[in-house]
């Protein structure tokens, strides 16, 4: 597998690649992951670093990517020494190592597209320039219908839709932490995400809190995730400071316990979401979900049957949704049960079976070829002319 983003920095694509690799390793497969990683970073044994990454503004946030001659040499060396049956690229048109591996790969290539956006500059630019290389993709996966629509809009063709996976039982068995458990007088809400990334919507939640606190003065908000929330809190209503506890980045175990402990999980995101893995994690832990009505979130929450939806960007709408849920214990119990059942759809066991089925389909359609000539990134790229590598 190839991950374009720095593996030592938390992120949805990185977690997806990590979990899928470890699920397949547990099933007895041989897996190697190629990704950027800083020198000296603690990385899993199956990871091969292709060098340090640099921060780049990409797809509405800051991504850590790598590109260049040193990376291309490492990509070629990794492919030549791997003896891989299948090369699985994540975000193959991102200007990083996945794109370089697409150019270089001679093995059957499967690609997963994670991004959902109305206009992807990378995909738009890649279409005419990289179409010969994109023909090498023997199968395409999108993590949601929204991501699949983005692929169809910019690149054409069809995709398999296979959602992100979650270790459902880990969340369901996580121990509650007393400091995070709410009471009738002091209910607890949780927000997880990069706190200084505007599209995650923390600013909207902070604007909604005064209304919530007027009706339920003891309400607490636990904020977990990387980034500095200082600027947002300084601009917030003074009552918010006493109600918010900033936890910073948390471990997987702490995240599981947090979601098991709180009265509700709040996802006030503003856009740019292709799936909504944190909603599944919250449901798996039994936390009732309040989320903005982004199309991806609506689908994950089964059109609102397993969570409460509010108008994206509306602080009054969010406050009303939170207060209605906090004031209805029976509704919270019902949503908790429905969410646990819904989360099973996204458990890694069925999700990994679907991904393996795509691998098998790609292998079955691949032609056995012997390619002569010099090896290396440029020669591989030149050989990826239309028809040369088509299944």
Which residues are CB-contacts of 286 (< 8 A; sequence separation ≥ 6)? Answer: 171, 172, 259, 260, 336, 339, 340
- CA 360/CA 178 separation, integer angstroms: 47
12-165+348-373 and 168-345 share one CATH topology? yes
- CA 177/CA 195 separation, integer angstroms: 22
- In DSSP notation, 87-124 reads EEEESTTSTTHHHHHHHH--S-EEEEE----S--HHHH
Q: Where are the domains of the chain?
A: 12-165+348-373, 168-345
pLDDT computed for residue 77 by the predictor: 94
Topology (CATH) of 168-345 = Rossmann fold (3.40.50)
- In DSSP notation, 246-314 reads EEES--HHHHHHHHHHSSEEEE---S--SS-HHHHHHHHHT--EEEE--HHHHHHTGGGTTSEEE-TT-
Judged by DSSP in three states, 63 sits in strand
Per-residue pLDDT of the chain (391 residues; tens, 9 = 90+): 999 998 888 888 999 999 999 999 999 999 999 999 888 788 899 999 988 766 665 555 555 567 677 788 899 999 999 999 999 999 998 878 998 899 899 999 999 999 876 555 555 555 555 667 778 899 999 999 989 988 888 787 789 999 999 999 999 999 999 999 999 999 999 999 989 889 999 999 999 999 999 999 999 999 999 888 888 888 888 899 899 999 999 999 999 999 999 999 999 999 888 899 999 999 999 999 999 999 999 999 999 999 999 999 999 999 999 999 999 999 999 999 999 999 999 999 999 999 999 999 999 987 444 344 444 444 444 333 333 443 3
Which residues are CB-contacts of 80 (< 8 A; sequence separation ≥ 6)? Answer: 375
Judged by DSSP in three states, 19 sits in helix
Which residues are CB-contacts of 76 (< 8 A; sequence separation ≥ 6)? Answer: 104, 375, 376, 377, 380
pLDDT computed for residue 273 by the predictor: 87
Topology (CATH) of 12-165+348-373 = Rossmann fold (3.40.50)
pTM given for the model: 0.84
- CA 353/CA 114 separation, integer angstroms: 19
Q: Which helix (H) or strand (E) holds 65?
A: strand 61-65
- CA 155/CA 121 separation, integer angstroms: 12
From residue 45, how far is each of 40, 80, 84, 181 by CA, in Å? 13, 19, 17, 36
Residues of 60-73 as b/e, b for ≥16 C-beta within 10 angstroms?
eeebbbbbeeebbe
The answer to whether residues 137 and 107 touch, using CB atoms and an 8 Å cutoff, is no
pLDDT computed for residue 153 by the predictor: 84
Dihedral angle sign, alpha carbons of residues 260, 297, 269, 208: negative
Q: What angle do CA 166, 169, 175 make, to 5 degrees?
A: 115
pLDDT computed for residue 389 by the predictor: 40
Q: Which helix (H) or strand (E) holds 125?
A: helix 121-134
The answer to whether residues 316 and 334 touch, using CB atoms and an 8 Å cutoff, is no
């Amino acid at each position: 597998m190839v991950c374009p983003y720095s593996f030592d920095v938390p992120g949805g694509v990185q977690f997806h690649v990590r979990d899928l690799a470890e699920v397949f390793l547990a099933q007895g497969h041989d897996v190697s992951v190629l990704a950027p990683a800083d020198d000296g970073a603690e990385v899993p044994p199956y990871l091969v670093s292709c060098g340090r990454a640099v921060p780049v503004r990409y797809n509405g946030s800051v991504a850590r990517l790598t590109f260049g001659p040193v990376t291309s040499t490492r990509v070629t060396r990794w492919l030549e020494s791997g003896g891989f049956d299948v090369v699985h690229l994540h975000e193959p048109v991102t200007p990083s190592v996945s794109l370089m591996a697409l150019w270089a790969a001679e093995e059957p290539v499967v690609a997963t597209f994670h991004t959902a956006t109305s206009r992807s500059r990378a995909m738009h630019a890649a279409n005419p320039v990289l179409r010969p290389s994109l023909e090498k993709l023997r199968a395409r996966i999108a993590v949601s219908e929204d991501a699949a629509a983005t692929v169809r809009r910019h690149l054409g063709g069809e995709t398999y839709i296979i959602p992100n996976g979650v270790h459902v039982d880990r969340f369901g068995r996580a121990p509650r932490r007393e400091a995070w458990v709410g009471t009738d007088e002091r209910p607890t809400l949780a927000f997880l995400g990069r706190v200084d990334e505007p599209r995650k919507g923390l600013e909207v939640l902070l604007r909604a809190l005064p209304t919530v606190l007027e009706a339920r003065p003891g309400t607490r908000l636990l904020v977990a995730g990387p980034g500095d929330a200082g600027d947002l809190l300084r601009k917030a209503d003074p009552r918010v400071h006493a109600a918010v506890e900033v936890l910073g980045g948390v471990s997987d175990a702490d995240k599981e316990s947090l979601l098991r402990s709180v009265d509700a999980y709040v996802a006030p995101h503003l856009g740019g979401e292709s799936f909504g893995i944190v909603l599944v994690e919250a449901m798996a832990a039994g936390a009732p979900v309040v989320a903005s009505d982004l199309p991806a979130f609506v689908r994950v929450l089964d059109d609102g049957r397993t969570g409460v939806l509010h108008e994206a960007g509306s602080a009054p709408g969010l406050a009303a949704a939170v207060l209605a849920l906090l004031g209805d214990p029976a509704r919270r119990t019902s949503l908790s049960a429905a969410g646990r059942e819904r989360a099973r759809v996204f458990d890694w066991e069925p999700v990994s079976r679907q991904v393996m089925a795509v691998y098998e389909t790609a292998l079955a359609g691949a032609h056995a070829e012997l390619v002569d000539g010099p090896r290396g990134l440029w020669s591989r790229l030149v050989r990826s002319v239309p028809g040369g590598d088509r299944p």
